[in-house]
Amino acid sequence: MDGDTTPDGTADRPSAQHRSDDEQPFPAPDTVPPRSAFVLAYVGIVLAGLLGGAIGYGLVDVGCRGHCGTARAFGALAGGLVAAAGGGVVAVLVLRAMHLWRVPHDEDDDAGGERQAPNVRRRKPSA
C-alpha cells in the first residue's frame, strides 16, 4: 500500500475542516475601511437606485400617451437598476481606494528614497 492513501483508498490530505486558524488560505486584511464607509456606500447605492427609478419613470411618462402604467413601471425598474449598478461600481472603487490608502508601503531606502512599484526589476547601469 502506498503512503499517499488511507486504508479506504481516499487520498491522505488534510481537509479544510482540519486546518488550524493559522493556515487560512486567504487571511483577511487588517486594513479594511471602517464599517461606516460600507454603510454609507450601501445608502448611496440605494439612493442612486431610487433616483434612477424616478428618472426612468419620468422619461416614460413624458413620452407616453394614454394608458402607460406598465411602461412606466418598466421605465422605473430599468432606470433604478442602471443607476444602482452605476452607484455600486463607484462605491466599490471608492472602498478599494480607501483600502489602498491604508496599506503600509515598504520604503525603498537603497534607491535614494525613491519608491518603486513591486515586481519591477531594476537594470544595472552596465546592463
Grid coordinates given for 22: 493559522
18-30 tens-digit pLDDT = 555 556 676 655 6
Exposed/middle/buried for 98, CB within 10 Å: 0-12, 13-18, 19+? middle
Give the residue among 39, 37, 51, 35 at the shortest CA–CA distance from 86. 51
Q: Is the pTM higher than 0.75? A: no
Residue whose entry in the numeric block shows the C-alpha cell 491522505: 12
58-115 tens-digit pLDDT = 999 999 888 899 999 999 999 999 999 999 999 999 999 888 887 666 555 445 555 5
In angstroms, the CA 21 to CA 27 distance is: 10
